[in-house]
Amino acid sequence: MTSKTKPGQPSIGRTPKRVVILGLPPVDGLDVIGPAEVFSLANTLHDGAFAPYVLELVCAGVDPQMASSTGIGLMAHTTLEHERHADKAIDTLIVATGWQAIDQLDGAAIEWIRTRSGNVRRVCSICVGAFALADAGLLDGRRATTHWRMARDLAERYPKVQVDPNPIWIKDGNVYTSAGISAGIDLALALVSEDLGDDAALDIAKNLVLFLRRPGGQAQFSVALQSQQVPGSNLDELCHWISEHLGSQLTVEILADRFATSVRTLIRIFQRELQTTPARYVEDVRLEAACRELELGGRSMEEVARRCGYHSVDVLRKVFVRRLGVSPREYAQRFAPDVLSARP
């Protein structure tokens, strides 16, 4: 890695950026350690005149010993009380907590987040840390995500938040939210990419032995699996039929006819049971199928497009760029066992 950037690439500037991870205990350990490892590696791998980041872990508890959901304690650099009096500049604030803490969020910490966010370049949450940002009012009117299992709870508690349970992370203005566990690493890599460029982030991902630096638009888990998670769903059979007929025309009218109901009723059922529309569900399943085809390799782009219901390779490419931030070719290069089999 080098401190020199290519024309048009981001630059860290001349002053190290202070990254504060605020933990509201008991935290989920990996939500803290994962992003911390990314910024630490950014410093280690950077060969410029100075390390690009100053990383500090701050505990919202009474002492630096931070409890975690695993029972393994984490030692913070300082406490929120000390941070409040120090009043040092913060470039990026990352909030992490745990599932056990969201019903008893620290009021003083929430007020500090609300006040401090006004002069912070980026405010982020990892997994259920989104509940803390929402409680501070920072997610009002914004798109946000969290762990898919807690997305509905987040939406019900904070109706002003536009909760999207699908992406692994979302950026809305200068506020970033991510799904759980490993998604915090993906978000941290995206932040480093903004500062140091894609090459630096990919270098870090390689050193973390990650198979791919996932873009924010990538789904948290299988679309088909999501449809099976609704007890007593009326859509099981239709969803199965959709997955077996991706190469066919799948308009809302055709799906409603297959389900023996009206278009309006079908849309209402999809919204109630899967929190999406029939058209969006079909698009999600097609994209997931195309990703799977590219991962397996052995087919041309034309064949992948046809089998998954896209009119052309160009349409396939536009969907990949819009939803995943990479072209099908780039996706195949990262995943396919034989890149040459996924011909452009």
Q: Where are the chain's structural domains?
A: 17-207, 223-341
- The pairs formed by 228-236 with CB atoms below 8 angstroms and a separation of 24 or more are 230/273, 230/274, 233/273, 233/274, 234/269, 234/273, 235/269, 235/270, 235/273, 235/274
User: What pTM was computed for the model?
Assistant: 0.68
Over residues 59-82, the mean pLDDT reads 94
Q: Does the bond joining 26 to the residue before it have cis omega, within 30 degrees of 0? A: yes
Which pLDDT score, from 0 to 100, does residue 2 have? Answer: 40
Residue 218 has pLDDT above 80, yes or no: no
Which pLDDT score, from 0 to 100, does residue 6 have? Answer: 43
Which pLDDT score, from 0 to 100, does residue 340 have? Answer: 37
**CA–CA–CA angle 251, 253, 256 (5° rounding):** 110
Over residues 185-213, the mean pLDDT reads 85
Which pLDDT score, from 0 to 100, does residue 341 have? Answer: 37
pLDDT top residue among 240 and 103 = 103
pLDDT top residue among 244 and 154 = 154
101 and 67 Cβ atoms separated by less than 8 Å: no
Residue 217 has pLDDT above 60, yes or no: no
Confidence grade of residue 331 (pLDDT, cut at 50, 70, 90)? confident
Q: Which helix (H) or strand (E) holds 43?
A: helix 29-45
Please give the CATH topology (third level) of the domain spanning 17-207.
Rossmann fold (3.40.50)
Which pLDDT score, from 0 to 100, does residue 166 have? Answer: 79
Residue 311 has pLDDT above 60, yes or no: yes
Q: Which residues neighbour 70 within 8 Å (Cβ) at sequence distance 6 or greater?
A: 29
In the block, tokens 């991510």 appear at 178
Please give the CATH topology (third level) of the domain spanning 223-341.
Arc Repressor Mutant, subunit A (1.10.10)
Q: What proportion of the chain, given as a percentage, has pLDDT over 70?
A: 86
Residue 290 has pLDDT above 50, yes or no: yes
